Amino acid sequence: MIAVLQRALSASVLVEGKTVGEIGRGLLILLGVAEGDTEQDAELLCKKILACRIFRDEQDKMNLSVRDVGGSLLVVSNFTLLANYRHGNRPDYMQAAAPDRANALYEHFVELVRRDGTPVATGEFGADMRVLLEGEGPVTIVMDSNELKKKKEKTQ
């Protein structure tokens, strides 16, 4: 599972001209689900994202998490994060999970955020969406659950 985090002053998602999700200060998260991803991948990413200290404190250092600043998440499904661009000029998406599985894990991730108590808004899975971002920083971080699993395995 791949997540692209973008620190936001505000972000929103429109489908057919209507706003389906929006947040103020927080994180816009583009979430791609890969073939073979599991609930553990969603749990590892969720835990890491909610604790990631990428917001500025009083000393202007990135020391605060989205929780610490009372921020929200806008989570948008994005299978194109799994693009294979190595051959030719047209990417393939064979590494992306099948839509039913991807949607289930996307919904699981969103539910984990809700259970944490962090406000969360979403896009519409499978829809053609317009994603609007007023970025802050800019701060953009790419997380891969496979990297988090490697770290976890080393500590066990």
Q: Using one digit for the tens of pLDDT, what is the confidence trace for 17-43? A: 999 999 999 999 999 999 999 999 999
Collapsed DSSP state (helix, strand, coil) of residue 136: strand
Collapsed DSSP state (helix, strand, coil) of residue 151: helix
pTM: 0.94
Is 23:70 a contact under the CB 8 Å cutoff? no
Nearest to 26 by CA among 89, 59, 75: 75
- pLDDT confidence bin for 45, thresholds 50/70/90: very high
Nearest to 1 by CA among 50, 41, 47, 57: 41
In the chain the first and final C-alpha atoms are separated, in Å, by 21
How many Å apart are CA 107 and CA 27, to the nearest integer? 17
Kindly give the interhelix angle for 39-51 and 145-155, rounded to the nearest 10 degrees.
90
**Residues whose CB falls within 8 Å of the CB of residue 147, separated by 6 or more in sequence, listed in order:** none
Question: Does residue 55 carry a pLDDT above 90?
Answer: yes
Which of 64-68, 80-84, 134-138, 146-150 is least confident?
Answer: 146-150
